[in-house]
Structure 1
Amino acid sequence: MKRKILIGCVLAGAMMFTLLVPVDARIKLVTKPGRDSVSIRLDNKRYTLVEEERTVPLQTGTNRLDFSWANIRIDKESILIRVVEKPKGAKEVNVLSQSYPPGENALVWDVSTDAPGPCRIRISYLLFNLNRVVSYRAIAEKDEKKMVFKTYLKLRNFSGEDFEQAVIHVGYGENFKKSMKNGESKQMLSAKHADVPIVKTYTYDYSKYGGKTPMHYKIVNDGKNQLGKYALQVGKARIFIIKDPKSRDTAFLGEDWLRGETGDICPIGGEAKLFLGLAQDIKVNADELTPVRAPQRMFYEEVNKRGNAYNLRERYKLEIKNFKKEDIVLDCIVHIDNMGRDCYWEMEEKTHEYEKKDYRTLIFHVKVPKGGKPVEVVYQYLKKNLWR
């Protein structure tokens, strides 16, 4: 009986308290209706940033705004609120506090204003399971001098939320508006570039391909080559060649991942290569000719403390045969191994000029005539300051 009286007193006291203290306005926000606009950024591989603007009616004093969501993959730690447009006549609008109601997918803000009226706010958050996939379609002309290069964009929405006329930013090109239902995937042609110049390359790199010779189409992402408006994203490319210029019938050559030289996006001005397969009619034989270790005087004064230093002379030969019907240029990549921190090298002899890609990688661009006549590439260098 005492417990019932106590409860009654508490209830009565609570009722008297609510009569004496003004009740704060409480506005309930939900994720589905009520958006004025929404923008979605898909330029990050792991996270999708959503920014939505809403107009909420505020009263003078403290207002409570509830932002709630159900079955939607929102990172609640990332939710932010900003005031975009104050109520007319208001000098300031302040966010006093925020809290997470226990056991709910919700966030509550206490917002104060000194004048009533509609207030435009922007809510941003990170959303999972809403992403994009970029792919490409490359169609080379029969002479393999130019190609039609198409970029496709697929939007995949499995976030649990629907979006109407959202402004989409995918990380390249211009923004566009698109509606997306939950569970929906949409693919669209986002760019088409005609007459893109291509160079067919042949590469010899024993450390990467053994004695085989891969073929690639090389494109340059700049305006001079009909591209260069934005960085090319990493994506799978399907490669075709036109068999008959009149009918425009195509043959499938293969598929490869389009990447820049660093393995990531291809920036403006950068190069990208598409793998076509291995050339069966180009043969390369490599021989190591008499490596000579040439001991010499100690390089450092403190030699007894650091050990013995020596030079190493290495001489190599490549014999290349081209059985194709046309002349080619073979890019022979040479890696100078066992280069320690204090080591360096000098080229002593060479039959062909080379390009120095970095301090230990050389590229010989060798012209090889058709018909199978062998071409020899001989080079010799001296590695200095090696340690036993």
Structure 2
Amino acid sequence: MDASFKEEGEALAIPPLRASEKFHLFVSYSSVDTTWTHELIGRLEADHAGLRVCLHERDFTPGRNVLENMAECILQSQKVLLVLSQDFVQSRWCLLEADLSLFGYCLERKPVIPVLLRPCQVPLHLSHLTYLEATDSRFYSKVVRLLCTPSHRMARSLPGPRPLPSLYSGKTLLTLNCINRDNLPSWKVGTFSTLSVPDPLKEVLQDPEVYKHAVGILNGVQSPRSCLRYLGCRIPLGIFLILLFCASIPVLMIFWTQDTKPGPRFLLITTGVSLCLLFLVLAVNSLCWFRRFSRRKMQELALRVGEANLLLAPHSVLMGCETLNQLSFVFVQLEDCRRAFLEFPDGNTLFQEALLRFSCAYACCLVQAHFPPYRDIEGAQGHLEPGLCFCQYVSVQLES
């Protein structure tokens, strides 16, 4: 338990539940933070008899749709507590719970209490909320005071620092997983939802049709239909071909030792060697099919991402992908780089081709904050600090 829990909470009364309420508090957290969260909730429930806290593993209705469980429990709660950490930010379920809680807050003035457990990159759609720091020596007493404060008195503000929703060139806006990523086979290309623009992108990408069209381009990448996509087919077939290769070697030796005419003998040996090599090549190709497929599909997906970036770039958004089932969106201003291309003949066409070929890899570099080595011989100032701007990145790739 964090040392901040050692301070006793103030002896205040928990507001009674209204007829439409079932819980005093709905808690949203990542499974990685389960121990810390349960210790906090355990102490709150021990110190305040009658406090009803909704935890998904304890209070969700078994056999019911998860979304329905979350929506109903949030609407039946007085307040919502978000345990923020990087694991929380990366969890799509936690982010969805946060979206639902904000939806309920907007409709019913339901207070949302964010708790910063560990430093993390707060999503844009949560960054307007003030938060409590778990390392604050008076953290527990502040939580208790907020729980005991009537909801109508908390609607305006919460105590604590307010993170600014800053946008800067190179900022990662969103990491988007494909539909049913957890159950997706490794050989299947992910399909991404186009129902609505995710909240972190709404601040910079206001036209939903642009987002739907861009993501729809990626959804056109087809998964393989070959039986080799199954590991149970690749391994037996590879072993069978290797055995044929091994069995062909003694047959070749027999042909070699036979006392036959040179012409037929040469033909038999040539045919046997060709078959041996064919069996060996087919065996290697069967066993290495998935690696070749992944490389080929990633190249196709990167090209599709480039096509999508032609639509997103005017909105200062680029998309990148490093796997078949996950996308990253970054905020990057390319106007200065576009002007650099326009200095050359037919510069606008060159800029479009550069977006098509290099924008996917460049977006991945921005997400990872890792760029290829670059030495600007002329000492020209780049358009992105720190790291390479897009025109510099394209220059590096063309020179390599």
Q: TM-score range with shorter-chain normalisation?
A: under 0.3
Higher relative contact order (CA 8 A, sep 6+): 2
Normalised TM-score (structure 2): 0.23
State the TM-score, normalizing by the size of structure 1: 0.23
Which structure has more helix as a fraction of its residues? 2
Which structure's CA Rg is the greater one? 1
Structure with the higher fraction of residues in strand conformation: 1
